[in-house]
Amino acid sequence: MRLFFAIELPPAIRGRLGHVQQTWAAPDKYEVSWTKRENLHITLKFLGEVDDHRLGELLEAMKSLPSSGPIELRTEGMEYFPNRGPIRILAVQVGGDVGRLQRVYDQLEDICELHGFKREGRGYRPHITIGRSRDELPGYLRHGHREKPWPEASPMFAVSEIALMESHLEAGGPRYVKVAGFPV
């Protein structure tokens, strides 16, 4: 199974992000593959292919994830990846209680590392990927040049669990299925 940990988004937030995608897509100056609305999420950790035995161990280990109540998050401005040079990924920043989100991320990394999953080498930067560029987008977009409007920050939304998701790669793009949820 091809797995990753994520935070699922409420329908209202997915709707707001869908509007941002439409704003960017019309008129379509850039070749961008837009993330399907139902696939929009905040990635915590990509695991890759996981066999049934390791999955069972991981599910059991995740029961030790400390829970201290919902995390309040919101969507904010645009973000572009990579950090330098031509842009390949259009994303939306995540704000709110990112300190608590960082602690959950660190705890998740600890659990995964104990079960043989390599720790991420880069610092965690929560975001929601809304599209991937087929061609390189101009790097000046990240330096305050706003070709496209960005709506105000979203209302806060409560995150009460992280989800273990399975990714099915299909001709029409990936399809994500929730395997399990763990309270935060």
Query: What residues are annotated to the active site?
Result: 41, 127
Contact between residue 151 and residue 19 where contact means Cβ atoms under 8 Å apart: yes
Question: What whole-number distance in Å separates Cα of residue 51 and Cα of residue 54?
Answer: 6
Phi, psi angle pair for 166, to nearest 5°:
-105, 135
First CA to last CA distance, the chain = 24
Q: Are strands 2-8 and 71-81 parallel, antiparallel or unpaired?
A: unpaired
